[in-house]
Amino acid sequence: MYKLEFLGDNNFYLKVIGNFPPTVAETFKDEFLKKTEDLDSFSVIVDLSNADLVRLSSIDIILDLLKENNKKLTKSAYIIIHNPPLSEELKYVIEEAKSPKRKIVKSLKEAKKWIGIKDVIIHREDSE
């Protein structure tokens, strides 16, 4: 499961919660490409602090997305809080899509500083 939030000024916040199977990764990829297609540049914080499992096939989907968007990417920060397997998986992704624009961080505060924003405001979805 995930939540993608537009923060303004071409900044995004992605919160991954629980598992991130390939079907969800594909849905995210499509949504993200749609939201960024008209932008010249963007930055993104990927919050994996509540992620349990990210499958290798999901990582490949994310890797393809990173490679597709590298020219538009200003900066990205990946928040991982004490999750050794996920840390190793993400290091693999970042090594495969090398860029000085990407950084693994340990907190939202560090991610905001790297991206250059002050606040992350999450909007509640209205339930019907």
pLDDT in tens, 105-126: 889 899 999 999 888 776 666 5
Q: Which CATH number fits domain 2-115: 3.30.750.24, 3.30.465.10, 3.40.50.2000, 3.40.50.720?
A: 3.30.750.24
Q: How far apart are CA 97 and CA 104, in angstroms?
A: 13
Placement of tokens 């606040």 in the chain: 119
Contact in structure between 10 and 37 (CB atoms under 8 Å): no
> Mind listing the pLDDT tens digit for each residue in 37-92?
999 999 999 888 887 767 778 877 877 887 788 889 999 888 877 666 666 666 66
Non-local (6+) Cβ contacts of 104 within 8 A are 77, 78, 80, 87, 90, 91, 94
